[in-house]
Amino acid sequence: MILKRASFFTACLLFVTQLTSFAQEKHYYQTDFSIVDFQERRSQIFEVIGNNSIALIQGAASIAGFKVFRQTNTFYYLCGLEAEHAYLLLNGKTKTSTIYLPNRDKARESSQGKILSAEDADLIKKLTGVERVRGYGSLANDLVGTGLINRGAPYLYTPLSPAEIGNDSRDEILHGQARAASDPWDSQSTREARFKKLIMERFPQFEIRDLSPILDAMRLIKNPKEIEIIRNATEIAGLAIIEAMRSTSPGVYEYQLDAAAKYIFYQHGAQGDGYPSIIGGGTNAYMGHYFHKTDVLKDGDLVLMDYAPDYHNYTSDVTRIWPVNGVFNKGQTELYEFIVSYRDALFKYIKPGTNSNEVLSKAAKEMKKYLKGKTFSKPRYLKAVQNALSFRGHFQHPVGMAVHDVGRVHGIPLKPGMVFTIDPMIWIPEEQLYIRIEDVAVVTENGVENLSQFVPSNLKNVEALIQEKGLTEFRPAENIHVTEH
């Protein structure tokens, strides 16, 4: 019996050892971008910051609990490495890049799989193209070695804008930070502020400069591989909205359309959502960023859906609006067809060299001709569409690693590789009615491409699609009875 137990224990130990060994061999690293892509991005930074500067980028912290780690957009953009508590040092004097990582945690790897660490220096150099990989302990000395001894201290660039992770966008993060700053009981500073303070406390010789504007300008122009990923994210977003259309009928809850969309996201390899879904039936849509999704969809109302996935660290931004009962009524038809025509007019004038103001002005002029001879069932509807012709928000925001991506597209010459949304909209406050659709535009060498063109917007096509069966009908939610104990 003792021998049998000993043999069983030995076999278990061998099995666990084999699993641990396997976990330490199989690594995970992105496959979308090449070493050359990351080297070119780092080279652009070297070119801008000059020879007497360094750049230090802090990666995302580890995630507490059972949440899945997601790297910051900035760190991922420069090396593609999904590793916790990582740092990237770009030395403008030597034109070399160094990644700093924690040491190996074998116990954690045995249960989660391989976690790239400082001990994987040769592998990480091979994957990312950086010149050096070192442990935490070397970062302080390496900062000293950039010129603090017997030479003038270099400028130290680091991102001062908030880091985006997953479904974050900088504008929303900044608003959140402002709300926290207004709370006298919340003294938490931002991670970027704490990092800057630590650098200055330990090495006051450095003059800190903001790396964010440089990164923003780089991220504004997408290369062909980035456009391909955004195209895929847009296709997934469109398929999700199409499934939601099929799943719509009176009595369905807003959150059930969210569930149908999420199924499509995960089925196609998304790692979550690029932003919380906006799904508003009736007057809920009027709030613009309505996230609650708790109400029942009602016969006669419209439902607006704005949603896209977090796909390979990029996202999209697609919106459609449709009738809950599957048929646009007369007033809804008048307003909806105006919005679709306005969208088409805006796309007509997008091309390299023009700017958002020119696009908006030319499209508004065309839509004034569209309105000649048009009648609307209510005077307030005519007033709303006329007001839309002077509104400048139909030409919206960049899209990329964040849904409200960094960079500027308003009032500047458009360039190939810019990706942004076209989002015509109208408000009828008397009825708390808000109607819009949103598509993703990418500027090409000769014009523009609508990446979300395939998502139905033609009125008859939308109505026909709603008549098809969707997930909520094939797999309806079952009644849940909670038993009290």
Measured CA angle at 343 (ends 254, 448), to 5 deg = 115
- Taking alpha carbons only, the member of 379, 378, 345 closest to residue 362 is 345
Neighbours of 270 (CB within 10 A): 22
d(CA 339, CA 346): 11
Question: Please, which pLDDT band fits residue 208 given cuts at 50, 70 and 90?
Answer: very high
pLDDT of residue 98 exceeding 90, the answer is yes
SS3 23: helix
The rounded distance, in Å, linking the Cα atoms of 259 and 280 is 14
Could you report the per-residue pLDDT of 364-404, keeping only the tens digit for each? 999 999 999 999 999 999 999 999 999 999 999 999 999 99
At 128-174, the pLDDT tens digits run 999 999 998 899 999 999 988 877 789 999 999 999 998 899 999 99
pLDDT at 13: 45
- Average pLDDT across the chain, whole number: 93
Label residues 131-167 b or e (16+ Cβ within 10 Å = b).
ebbbeeebeeebbeebbeeeeebbbbbbbbbbbbbbb
User: Is residue 241 within 8 Å of 248, Cβ to Cβ?
Assistant: no
4-13, 308-317, 404-413: range with lowest mean pLDDT: 4-13
d(CA 329, CA 204) in angstroms, rounded, equals: 67
Whether the Cβ atoms of residue 399 and residue 343 lie closer than 8 Å to each other = no
pLDDT of 10 > 80? The answer is no
The residue count of the chain comes to 485
Other Cβ atoms less than 10 A from the Cβ of 368: the count is 11
* Residue 18 pLDDT exceeds 80: no
The predicted structure's pLDDT at residue 151: 73
* Percent of the chain topping pLDDT 90: 83
b/e map 89-116, b = 16+ CB within 10 Å: bbbbeeeebbbbbbebeeeebbeeebbb
pLDDT in tens, 105-132: 999 888 888 999 999 999 999 999 999 9
43's CB contacts (< 8 A; 6+ apart) are 95
- pLDDT at residue 21 is higher than 80: no
For the stretch 26-77, pLDDT in tens is: 888 999 999 999 999 999 999 999 999 999 999 999 988 788 899 999 999 9
DSSP assignments along 70-121, one per residue: ---HHHHHHH----TT-EEEEETTTTEEEEEEPPP-HHHHHHH-----GGGH
